[in-house]
Amino acid sequence: MNVRTWRGVPAPERPAPRTAPPPPASTASFAGIRFIMPRYDARRIESRWQKFWDEQRTFETPNEPPAGSTGKLYVLDMFPYPSGSGLHVGHPEGYTATDIVVRYSRMRGKHVLHPMGWDAFGLPAEEHAVRTGTHPRITTEQNIDTFRRQLKMLGFSYDWTRELATTDPDYYRWTQWIFLQIFDSWYDAAHEWTGPDGRRRRGRARPIRDLPIPPEVHALGPDDVRRFQDQHRLAYISEAPVNWCPALGTVLANEEVIDGKSERGGHPVERLPLRQWMLRITAYADRLGSELEDLSWPESIKLLQRNWIGRSTGAEVDFLVEGLQPAAGAPPRGFDEWRENRSRSSFPRHPEPNVVRVYTTRPDTLFGATYMVLAPEHPLADAITTDAQRAAVAAYREQASRKSDLDRTDLAREKSGCFTGAFAVNPVNGQRIPIWIADYVLISYGTGAIMAVPAHDERDLEFARQFDLPVIEVVQPPQAGESAIGFTGDGVAIHSGEYDGLPTQEFKRRITEDLHARGLGREAVNYRLRDWLFSRQRYWGEPFPIWHELDADGKPTGLMRADAAESLPVLHPHMENFRPTGNPEPMLSKAPDEWLYRTAEDGVRLKRETNSMPQWAGSCWYYLRFADPQNGERFIDPEVEKYWLPVDLYIGGAEHAVLHLLYARFWHKVLFDRGHVSTAEPFSRLVNQGMILGEAELTGYVRAPSGGAAPSQAAERDTGGGFQRDQIPPDRWVSLTDVVEQAGDQLADRVTGEPVVAMRLAAEDVMKQGGCLVLKERPEIVVDSRAFKMSKSRGNVINPDDVVQAYGADSLRLYEMFMGPLEQVKPWSMSGVEGVSRFLSRAWRMIADERADEVALNPAVQDVEPTEEQDRLLHRTIKAVTEDVEKLSFNTAISRMMEFVNGFSQWEPRPRSAMERFALLLSPFAPHIGEELWRVLGHGTSLAYEPWPAFDAARIAEAEVEIPVQVNGKVRGKLRAPTGADQAAIQSLAESDAQVRALLDGKTVVKVIVVPGRMVNFVVK
């Protein structure tokens, strides 16, 4: 199936010409529109040029570099989820930034790849289907059409022939194919190899057929070999407690659960054991962390990822449990005997059944361990529990298993636990310590068991105090007088036998070595990162290309088969009803039997996997497909991949700092290990745009009407919790400084304790006084001014359609860039849009004749040589704009262009050459007016591939510069000096200046500091 025809868009037939001349300026009609537009009329200009770019295929980019190319540049936007509400003003922020970069780069001769597509699988379309019965594909297509229209309306120079949607069967065919690559891989952590990037690495994904099969497994037969392989695949099935969200009807990844609620919708989430697909991202934890190093990403994002991966180093240590059998039927052995045994063997891969293995980052505190804790789910919990404690432990474990994550975190963190009755022996000193079970130890981290050192761990201390367990100090803090109890930093060892006096770091090294030598422990590394829960129970996601074998009774045998790569894609089954099953059973399990079952050639009955992939899957590799979107043979041609990848600049929201970027890097590394891509990292440079907030709102506070415990909800802001704005008795206002927040979001008056509600104010209600905004009618009342995240409930959402309708796309683009630095959070301001729109009008009038009946050149624009001053402004502007675009400092670039227009507008005549170069500078930012001005200046072709203007530093320099003269660091006067004057020259100039002499009169000059071209400072007494 061809992706283009499937969506009803015919494939292009002829190669794209770069440019073609539009009708000459004298023609009275253009693109079929009457051409009377003396004033700057954004709407007419914009639709005309959009049509022109489309028809002329101006931005289509063949994979072959054009003659004279200065190199490839792949600039990518994070593709949007096409929601039903259309484009948000946040989208065009990053998209405009990349569009400026690519338009600029084309003018610098770069061969630019700049595509756009749709992250189109996802819940909302399916929820819509549940409500209306409309197939999610229909809804998705409609939403995509809206998004495409809106993006085209903004004049972005995407190569639309590369457009793709993750929901295209021709796309998810390869998503499924990549899944099969992951499924076909195991991670060989010991494998050392040199990649195509020339780097030596340890650890690699390898084909599952290369997995060594232990002889004892081999002996069990082929089915067991297959099960063994299945356990080692990078994509595997695991029965694990998962986050089941009944409201959404799906299981969610840990990352999608926030405070025990779903990230999307805020619905409660339950813990439930379920058979789920997992991706072994933890195998890559180390590389995902260390290979961040060379990337040009913001340090803060790298740190966020590193924290998410959460690498920690420490030691695993074995503790013998008293009175337990080392093996079935064997008699219990004593501590000394065990230790003796261990020192002869070595630290075993798996501990004996009577040994608890713990993970600790502080092996130096081993002498301070006063008890042990196992996670409630720990496999040894049953075996070690004494009969006396059995009932209590069972009850505790039962209760813990029912606790959701919400309960575990929200319950004011009160520690709970239960003694097992068992004791372990501390391997370093033979001390008996009790073993507890408590849910503050997680089964999913480390070994699921800890040694507790209450003196030097906050959680252990809290637990020890609650249950009256002993506390032994073993680390002396470096600062005298600091209490050792509760000290968690590095210090010097005490009460630690032969190790006393060792600094923490050295102690750690020594004891880890000693434990290792005696077979009692070893160095260990752990990660906070967990394997990626990769299945969902919804319809609108990629089906898995996997079959489960059934036995004669139709029951799954646990053995799996993958679909053949040639048979992909696995399409969705036809379904009428999209209502969730109401239980964790996947939607696809309701599919027709033809889809669900088949019989293999060897006669084995097969049932399809009915889970679907999560939305993250499609976005894990779309940047690869853009380079070769129509390839029917491979997911990407290797030569094309080598040419375009990696992405040189990737811009998107910071909300994807961890999930999307980590997942995509993981997939990329698997493909790299398996030889399908040539780079180890997909995105060499990353920039996060800052969120755009709503317009700043003024808020006053009012004591609620008596009896009315009004909630301070946003929705109440217009009514003030029962008051109309004009009816508020003056004495009910409360100053912002007196408003305090109480439990549960309630606001109250600090003085009286009465509840307080927020009340939206208008600009004319307030005035400025002493650095605060205050109420005009009662100036002692301080009010609040803040911008909030745009949201439907707050009613402060700005629709880009409306902005374009009123001011034009160029103004919207320019404003979004002018608001402030790209990475920064910033509030929207409609009058700011008006400001940049006025600038564009001034630029228009500077070049075009406003009084003429038809678009014509302003008579002031003439073929004259620029004056020295004009030349200076021109070249200074070119230099600044060029450098600012390189730095992505678009707001300052626009300021410079405003200065240019402010300068040139007052000059007549205006040299045509300067106006032309200005149009070129402006065009990446405001491409429609840029093209139009270029045409007015007499050019017949698009400026999209015109060379970027160059500047001449010599023309920027002035003959003289003004230099401030300071006395004791304060500016006291100015003098003019020749530009190149050296220190001595400037000093003598300053000293001979009458004004300066007057300042120095009667004082002793101690020192003179001269910074040539900058300033002079006389230090006097």
Q: Which of residues 596-655 bind RNA (CB under 7 A)?
A: 654-655
Closest by CA position to 477, among listed 467, 463, 487? 487
Residue type, 790: M
Site string for RNA, 345-364 (x = CB under 7 A): --------------xxxx--
| Stretch 148-187 residues interacting with RNA (CB under 7 A) | none
| Stretch 776-795 residues interacting with RNA (CB under 7 A) | 785, 789
User: In angstroms, how far is CA 168 from the centroid of its own chain?
Assistant: 25
Asked if residue 707 binds RNA (CB under 7 A), the reply is: no
Asked if residue 818 binds RNA (CB under 7 A), the reply is: yes
Q: What phi and psi, each to the nearest 5 degrees, are found at residue 653?
A: -75, 150
3-state DSSP assignment of residue 561: strand
Give 208 or 1008: the residue with its C-beta nearer to RNA.
1008
Out of 341, 567, 902, 992, the only residue in the binding site for RNA (CB under 7 A) is 902
Out of 205, 320, 450, 627, the only residue in the binding site for RNA (CB under 7 A) is 450
Interacting span for RNA (CB under 7 A) from 1-9, 418-426, 822-830, 856-864: 822-830
Closest by CA position to 521, among listed 531, 509, 529, 505? 509
Encoded tokens for 708: 């009315």
Task: Return the sign of the alpha-carbon dihedral for residues 637, 639, 642, 645.
Answer: negative
Give 298 or 705: the residue with its C-beta nearer to RNA.
298
Q: Counting every residue, how long is the chain?
A: 1021
User: In angstroms, how far is CA 411 from the centroid of its own chain?
Assistant: 30
From the CB of 304, what's the least distance to RNA, in Å? 5
| Stretch 652-691 residues interacting with RNA (CB under 7 A) | 654-655, 658
In whole angstroms, what is the distance from residue 88 CA to residue 934 CA?
31
Contacts of 209 (CB under 8 A, 6+ apart): none
Give 203 or 310: the residue with its C-beta nearer to RNA.
310
Give 14 or 350: the residue with its C-beta nearer to RNA.
350
Give 583 or 968: the residue with its C-beta nearer to RNA.
968
Note whether 699 and 786 are within 8 A (CB): yes
| Stretch 493-532 residues interacting with RNA (CB under 7 A) | 526, 528
| Stretch 265-324 residues interacting with RNA (CB under 7 A) | 299-300, 303-304, 307-308, 310, 312, 314
| Stretch 372-401 residues interacting with RNA (CB under 7 A) | 375
Interacting span for RNA (CB under 7 A) from 65-73, 508-516, 671-679, 1013-1021: 1013-1021
CA distances from 263 to 542, 557, 961 (A): 21, 36, 58
Q: Which long-range contacts (CB under 8 A, 24 or more apart) does 955-964 make?
A: 955/871, 955/872, 955/874, 955/875, 956/872, 956/875, 956/876, 956/879, 958/872, 961/1013, 963/990, 963/1013, 963/1014, 963/1015, 963/1016, 964/1015, 964/1016
Q: What phi and psi, each to the nearest 5 degrees, are found at residue 434?
A: -70, 150
Give 68 or 744: the residue with its C-beta nearer to RNA.
744
Asked if residue 821 binds RNA (CB under 7 A), the reply is: yes
Encoded tokens for 930: 């840029």
Out of 57, 397, 674, 826, the only residue in the binding site for RNA (CB under 7 A) is 826
| Stretch 459-478 residues interacting with RNA (CB under 7 A) | 459
From the CB of 922, what's the least distance to RNA, in Å? 13
Interacting span for RNA (CB under 7 A) from 406-414, 422-430, 538-546, 662-670: 406-414
Give 192 or 802: the residue with its C-beta nearer to RNA.
802
Out of 209, 344, 768, 1021, the only residue in the binding site for RNA (CB under 7 A) is 768
Out of 394, 494, 696, 714, the only residue in the binding site for RNA (CB under 7 A) is 696
Encoded tokens for 357: 């293995």
Give 524 or 664: the residue with its C-beta nearer to RNA.
524
Interacting span for RNA (CB under 7 A) from 215-223, 605-613, 715-723, 1012-1020: 1012-1020
Convert 977-1003 to b/e letters by CB count within 10 Å (16 or more is b). Answer: beeebeeeebbebbeebeebeebbeee
Contacts of 628 (CB under 8 A, 6+ apart): 63, 634, 636, 637, 640, 641
Note whether 677 and 196 are within 8 A (CB): no
Asked if residue 417 binds RNA (CB under 7 A), the reply is: no
From the CB of 830, what's the least distance to RNA, in Å? 8
| Stretch 85-114 residues interacting with RNA (CB under 7 A) | none
Out of 146, 431, 829, 941, the only residue in the binding site for RNA (CB under 7 A) is 829
Asked if residue 906 binds RNA (CB under 7 A), the reply is: yes
Residue type, 810: D
Interacting span for RNA (CB under 7 A) from 205-213, 532-540, 839-847, 939-947: 839-847
From the CB of 674, what's the least distance to RNA, in Å? 29
From the CB of 599, what's the least distance to RNA, in Å? 44
Sequence-ordered strand ranges (E) for 67-113? 72-77, 111-113
